[in-house]
Structure 1
Amino acid sequence: MCSDCKIPFVTNDRIISLSVPLLNENEQTGSHDNDNYNISTLQKRLKATVQLQGCIATMMKHEKYGEGADWYCDNDQCKQYTNAEKKLDLWKLPKILIIQLNRFSFDLSSNNKIDTDVDFPLVNLDLKKFVAHPNRNKMYTLYDLIAVSNHSGTMMGGHYTTYAKDVFTNAWYCYNDNSVESIDETKILSKSAYVLVYEQKETS
């Protein structure tokens, strides 16, 4: 939205996943990207626990777009370079929802993996407050976790494993190369969680 004429400019983009910063809703950085973490912020992230809902809310926040009036407003009332704000809303939800946790921080001097604990729900992740006009669109907003891709190691090298749920028995299994073994669901939440896969619940 233009800071001068206040007329919103809406664009629709298809995305295959949500890439969320490891920040709660009341925390801020210079950008929503982990790329801009400073050292003190990164150290706090290594010790803290964040909520998945808070991470999504941070990604959805109003954000200043550009600095020093370098955004051009093409509305007839404006037609000038000015400042603007942008905000992300969800308009249509997928049957399968993929959420990537931004665990990697890049800067000129170092590359870091952020081992923050993320508290994510195994059932009933609700995206209703992030959807534009959820009642009018009459969409299902609840999701259950069905898989987690885990990364252990560092940015320069590591190992991937997968926790996946049998949707018929509700049992969880750990897939590690050519090995498969059952796992208790209390082990699902860990600092290794990197990509979360949720399935939409078709219920009101």
Structure 2
Amino acid sequence: MVYCNTCKTDTDASSECEMVKYPQILALLLNRIEIDYNTMSYVKSDCGVNVPLTIQTKKKGYSLYGMVNHMGSLSGGHYTATILSDEDQAWYEFNDNRVSKVEPFAKGSTYYSRSAYLLVYRGE
């Protein structure tokens, strides 16, 4: 809800934007910060999201090839990255000094995550 200066009341609102230039690399930052109205403080949201492995815009298609994950709270936590290798088309998780191969995501589906924070797509 937002306050409308014309009708002097709170009203439902929506916002949209249109992509006019289609980049080769599309980075999407997920908003994982919300306000807790009981404590009037900001908290990190760990709600699950379905991450699409492909995105189709009006003029260009994109495929997921990188994801940054965050586990923890606003005051601290741990980051990892999951990246698709150009060399062998396998997914790898980077976690501090460990790199490990992870199960591939099923093509054409979505990946469910409670920790995805930044999604990186490559234009096709």
**Per the shorter chain, which TM-score range?**
0.7 to 0.9
Partner residue in 1 for 2:102 = 183
Output the amino acid matched with 2:56: D
Question: What is the CA–CA distance in structure 2 between the aligned matches of 1:190 and 1:86, rounded to whole Å?
Answer: 25
Question: What is the CA–CA distance in structure 1 between the aligned matches of 2:28 and 2:115, rounded to whole Å?
Answer: 14
Partner residue in 2 for 1:118 = 49
1:154 lines up with 2:50 in the alignment: no
Q: Which has the higher helix share?
A: 1
Partner residue in 2 for 1:89 = 18
Output the amino acid matched with 2:63: D
**What secondary structure, in the 3-state scheme, does the structure 1 residue paired with 2:78 have?**
strand
Question: What is the CA–CA distance in structure 2 between the aligned matches of 1:142 and 1:148, rounded to whole Å?
Answer: 18
Deviation beyond 2 Å, 4+ runs, structure 1: none
* Correspondence list, 1:9-24, <5 A: none
Q: Which runs of 5+ in 1 are unaligned?
A: 1-29, 32-65, 70-84, 129-139
Q: Which has the higher strand share?
A: 2
Q: Which runs of 5+ in 2 are unaligned?
A: 7-13, 106-110
Seen in structure 2, the aligned counterparts of structure 1 residues 144 and 86 have a Cα distance that, compared at 3 Å, is closer
Q: Deviations over 1:66-91 (max 9, x none)?
A: 7315xxxxxxxxxxxxxxx9641110
Give the structure, 1 or 2, with the largest relative contact order (CA under 8 Å, sep 6 or more).
2
Question: What is the CA–CA distance in structure 2 between the aligned matches of 1:151 and 1:67, rounded to whole Å?
Answer: 36
**What secondary structure, in the 3-state scheme, does the structure 1 residue paired with 2:4 have?**
coil
Q: Radius of gyration: which is bigger?
A: 1
Structure 1 stretch displaced more, 142-151 or 177-186: 177-186
Question: What is the CA–CA distance in structure 2 between the aligned matches of 1:167 and 1:189, rounded to whole Å?
Answer: 23
1:119 and 1:189 in contact (8 A); partners too: yes
Report the aligned-residue RMSD: 2.3
Question: What is the CA–CA distance in structure 2 between the aligned matches of 1:87 and 1:172, rounded to whole Å?
Answer: 33
Output the amino acid matched with 1:179: R
Question: What is the CA–CA distance in structure 2 between the aligned matches of 1:126 and 1:193, rounded to whole Å?
Answer: 20
